[in-house]
A and B are shown apart, each in its own frame.
Chain A
């Protein structure tokens, strides 16, 4: 909205202002305005708890254990004992004292994308959804305002539909001077930063620029920041909407798999893969080892010279497997001549040669004469035949143990591969779902359009591009939220999902007085009791009328255990 500028407008006198005072009108209006439950008005309470109990006991409340007492009351009403009423009030009080952000399902949430940033360099980050973050250099400070250097861990996530809002536990209710509104969102983000596990702040003069990909291009949205201390949103003004023409690209091609690889779900599976690798190594190491493979004896070659030497069996045990050992002079000894054979050498020593286990270095000395020869262990005649027979026997034993070992290794490897395949399939499925999500995101946009909502944030937290709206209208009633056994659910927040509106309309305290919905829309109700999700199906809304009296809404228990928000979306056909 364009501002009007007045310069030096004449001042209004205090007398003129005083003439317009009308406290009686304020008093009269405040007495007729609704919005606050009667029992919350202090002058109504009069400080007497007994009155509170009496009031509570006359309204429609939970009935977990009192089914048999219904005969004395109307069909849809339940009388509570004082102790039940007090217990219910205590439950409400407990719920109302919970943190501002309170995810209803402990196992499911929107995952963070985690980025490592060099604080002194800043960064330009591109998110899989098409959003972008621009971070200036030296944009992070500690609690004393000191600029931080080194690696910063930035955690970022986006919320685009009712399922995201629901699992996040981020309130979508806006209290504007006591009037409650429900947010319809064009997209919400949470941005946090840490160094060495400690939360850091944003430098005041270095805001982060956010270009949030959105499914909504309307300009009626305002930007709000969640004040978790006040449990309310602060309006920051308008965001800027930029609509870009999309090039005909395949969104999957621009999808960075590394983004999904940083999600907790993916990393959990990655850790499991590492665990099974370690398990395999341990199992392999514990398998019985085959006996050492025997060395096949070699027969002396015709016309070759051999030496017979005394060798220390402790030093060279491998040479004492067979009897009648000789050392044949190798062809590579160009310095050898047969006259060496005629000399009685004073000293002869062998050590391991360059072909381990196959050849040896023989050093022979006499006076100043010294020669080094490469020799090979060989056997001749009967000795060779005997050695070969011994070898065959040993080799057969070796082969038996080797085959057993190989079979065991194959079994361990097969079990490992089966687990690995399972985990890799799970990871591929995560990637596939993300790709599907991206494809759906692109498909859901106006053709050839990409909407970016641009704004700057100067502190970390939750930001929401929203319109403050009233509850959907059409059917209005009091609703008792019950389970399939027709007992009232002990739940606090009940969420209406209206598929025509991108919000999560929150009603508090069961029974829901003034529950309203648009019968022409596709609706769902969600609530959680003791960690169990219940829902009212779209087709059940058809039987709810707005006539007098409380309505029993029989919720369906959801037994499926969700581990990620995509599964939950699939279940509810998002």
Chain B
């Protein structure tokens, strides 16, 4: 089984977070609470997709600057505030890739690869490890790579993936298993 990240979702948590967001809309200094809460998550999200640590820290600051600038547009949609931050982060890293200020990097950990093979019901773990790494790094299209990264290397739940990508939890699950099926066919 794959370990999933802690991800708050109780109504009380969401309501109290939303109250902070509304307060921050009127008083930017109130945004500090959200910054503290999500700084590490957003940094790790960016750094997962980057090679250079310093560039990842810079990009993280930019995400929060843009979030503050656009906070007046934010509308509560029943999901954690972090899903909005992740979308800004995603946009930011894409812009940096396009501007060639950040190198698209795929950070693969072998535990995640083994987790994938477990889901694929593949027992010849050592035989296929390198092949899967090669396919993930070089052959998967960006949208499929994102799903694999989030699920197996960032250990996110399908619910969280769905909220970040603005798709349903079930859709995230279906897409992930389709990619695994595809990988299974490719490696054999």
Interface residues of A (CB under 8 A from B): 1, 3-9, 12, 14, 17-18, 20-23, 25-27, 29-31, 33, 35-36, 40-43, 176-179, 205, 222, 235-237, 468
| B35 cross-chain contacts in A, Cβ below 8 A | 21, 23, 26
- Add 19 more A-B contacts to A7-B109, A27-B28, A176-B95 (CB < 8 A): A1-B97, A6-B51, A7-B108, A8-B110, A9-B107, A12-B44, A17-B39, A17-B40, A27-B31, A36-B72, A42-B71, A43-B25, A43-B28, A177-B66, A177-B87, A177-B88, A236-B143, A237-B141, A468-B98
Is B138 in contact with chain A by the CB < 8 A criterion?
yes
Chain A to chain B: the 6 pairs with minimum beta-carbon distance, closest first:
A178-B70, A5-B137, A30-B68, A177-B88, A177-B91, A177-B66
Is the pair B95, A6 in contact by a Cβ cutoff of 8 Å?
no
> How many positions in chain B have a CB within 8 Å of any CB in the partner chain?
54
Total inter-chain residue pairs, C-beta < 8 Å: 119
Which residue of chain A has its CB nearest to the CB of B70? A178
Residues of B within 8 Å of A27, CB to CB, are: 28-29, 31, 68
Q: Are B68 and A26 in contact (CB under 8 A)?
A: yes
Residues of B within 8 A of A17 (CB): 39-40, 43-44
**With the chains together, A26 CA to B47 CA distance in Å?**
19
Instruction: Report yes or no: B138 in contact with A3, Cβ–Cβ below 8 A.
Output: yes
Stretch binding the partner chain, chosen from B5-13, B57-65, B117-125: B57-65
Q: Is B69 in contact with chain A by the CB < 8 A criterion?
A: yes
Contact of A5 with B47 in the complex, beta carbons under 8 Å: no
Q: Within 8 Å CB of A25, what residues of B? A: 61
> In the complex, how many angstroms separate the beta carbon of A463 from the nearest chain B beta carbon?
14
Q: List 20 A-B contacts (CB under 8 A).
A: A4-B103, A4-B106, A5-B106, A5-B108, A7-B108, A9-B107, A12-B44, A12-B47, A20-B43, A23-B35, A26-B35, A29-B61, A33-B65, A43-B25, A43-B26, A176-B95, A177-B66, A178-B73, A235-B94, A237-B142
B39 touches A21 (CB 8 A): yes
Interface string of B32-57 (1 = CB under 8 A from A): 10011001100110010001010001
How far is A3 from B60 in the complex, measured between Cα atoms in Å? Answer: 21
Interface string of B81-108 (1 = CB under 8 A from A): 0000001100110110110100111111
B133 on interface, CB distance cutoff 8 Å: yes
Determine the distance from Cα of A178 to Cα of B108 in the docked complex, in whole angstroms: 31
A6–B108 touching, CB < 8 Å? yes
Cβ contacts under 8 Å, A5 to chain B = 105-106, 108, 133, 137-138
Question: Could you say which of A1, A20, A22, A177 contacts B104, with CB atoms under 8 Å apart?
Answer: A1
Q: Which residues of B are found within 8 Å of A9, using beta-carbon distances?
A: 107, 109
Is B143 a contact of A179 with CB atoms below 8 Å?
no
Is B108 in contact with A3, judged by CB distance below 8 angstroms? no
The smallest C-beta distance from A19 to any residue of chain B, in angstroms, reads 10
B108 near A30: Cβ-Cβ < 8 Å: no
Q: Are A3 and B27 in contact (CB under 8 A)?
A: no
A7 lies within 8 A of B133 (CB): yes
B131 within 8 A of A: no
Report which B residues bind A (CB closer than 8 A). Answer: 25-29, 31-32, 35-36, 39-40, 43-44, 47, 51, 53, 57, 60-61, 63-73, 87-88, 91-92, 94-95, 97-98, 100, 103-110, 133, 137-138, 141-143, 178
A5 to B136, CA, bound (A): 9
Alpha-carbon separation in the docked complex, A25 to B35 (Å)? 12
Distance to closest chain A CB from B141 (angstroms): 7
Of all chain A residues, the one with the shortest Cβ separation from B33 is A23
**What residues on B are CB-neighbors of A21 within 8 Å?**
35-36, 39
Would you give the shortest CB distance from A429 to chain B, in whole angstroms? 44
Docked CA distance A6–B47 (Å) = 12
CA distance A22 to B65 in the complex (A): 11
Residues of A within 8 A of B53 (CB): 12
Contact partners of B133 in chain A: CB under 8 A = 5, 7
Chain B residues near A35 (CB-CB < 8 A): 69
Contact B178 A205 (CB under 8 A): yes
Closest to A458 in B: B143
- CA A14 to CA B44, docked complex, whole Å: 10
Q: How far is the CA of A236 from the CA of B143 in the complex (A)?
A: 8
Across the interface, name the chain B residue whose C-beta is closest to A467: B98
CA distance A18 to B69 in the complex (A): 23
Which chain B positions have C-beta within 8 A of A20? 43, 57, 60
A23 and B32 form a contact (CB under 8 A): yes
Contact residues in B for A14 (Cβ distance below 8 Å)? 40
Contacts of B103 in A (CB 8 A): 1, 4
A42–B142 Cα gap in the complex (Å)?
A: 37
Query: With A21-B39, A26-B35, A30-B28 given, is the CB distance from A41 to B72 under 8 Å?
Result: yes
Complex Cα gap A18–B28 (Å): 21
Query: Across the interface, do A8 and B109 meet the contact criterion of CB distance under 8 Å?
Result: yes
In the complex, A4 Cα to B137 Cα: how many Å?
A: 8
**Closest chain A residue to B138 by CB distance?**
A3
Which of A3, A5, A6, A41 has the most CB atoms of chain B within a 10 A radius of its CB?
A: A3
Q: Which among A1, A26, A179, A205 is the interface contact of B61 at CB below 8 angstroms?
A: A26
Enumerate chain B residues within 8 angstroms of A235, measured Cβ to Cβ: 91, 94
Would A3 and B106 count as touching, CB distance under 8 A?
A: yes
Question: Does the CB pair B66–A178 fall under 8 Å?
Answer: yes
- B65 and A6 contact, CB distance less than 8 A: no
Q: Which of B65, B70, B105, B137 has the most CB of A within 10 A?
A: B65
Contacts of B47 in A (CB 8 A): 12
- Shortest distance in angstroms between B29's beta carbon and chain A's nearest beta carbon? 7
Of residues B25, B91, B92, B97, which shows the largest number of chain A Cβ atoms within 10 Å of its Cβ?
B91
Q: How far is the CB of A543 from chain B (nearest CB, A)?
A: 36
Assuming the A-B contacts A12-B53, A177-B92, A178-B66, are A3 and B72 also in contact, with contact meaning beta carbons closer than 8 angstroms in the complex?
Answer: no
Q: Which residues of the other chain, A, contact B91 by a CB distance below 8 angstroms?
A: 176-177, 235
A14 and B109 CA atoms in complex are apart in Å by 18
Question: How distant is the Cα of A3 from the Cα of B48 in the complex, in angstroms?
Answer: 13
Bound form: Cα–Cα A468–B98 in Å: 10
List, in ascending order, chain A residues with CB within 8 A of B108's CB.
5-8
Q: Which residues of B are found within 8 Å of A205, using beta-carbon distances?
A: 178
In the complex, which residues of chain A have a beta carbon less than 8 angstroms from the beta carbon of B137? Answer: 3, 5
